[in-house]
Amino acid sequence: MEINVRVGEAADVPAMMKLVKELAEFEKAPEQVSNTEEQMLKDGFGQNPIFGSFVAEADGEIVGIAIYYFRYSTWKGKRLYLEDIVVNSEFRGKGMGKALFDKTIEKAKETNCTGMMWQVLDWNQSAIEFYKQYGTRFDDDWVNCKLDF
């Protein structure tokens, strides 16, 4: 199996949304997905893209994605926020997640970010163990907040 990680393209959006929905199933929240292919196309590949992406291919088929954007910390400066990293369940444990994560770290460094941030569900032990390999600091002091419109 040949693994290739590359920058996402507009033509990849259907495969990307399929993986987003797979992630929602895995996280036991499929009803939470309200995004559409059309919106993702506009937001990621329109005139003013607000996110970037990488796709992982196995023998030419997209089997993983990393979606990121830049944020600003008043204490740390420019940071890369990894919104989602998703690998198709059949391809987990084969280096896809590592290839995507490494590519995202590389992007953060290339764009002069002071660090990278993301979230992981507290019950996703395999992901937590994966991130520990990178020396990840887990923050128990902050509570996530959100407003939906």
Cα separation, 83 vs 69, whole angstroms = 7
Closest CA to 17 of 43, 44, 35, 42: 35
Of 68, 72, 131, 134, which is the active-site residue? 131
**Distance between CA 59 and CA 20 in Å, rounded?**
21
Asked if 131 is an active-site residue, the reply is yes
**Inter-residue contact 86 to 22 (CB < 8 Å):** yes
Radius of gyration of the chain (CA): 15
Token readout for 131 is 């991130």
Catalytic residue numbers read 131
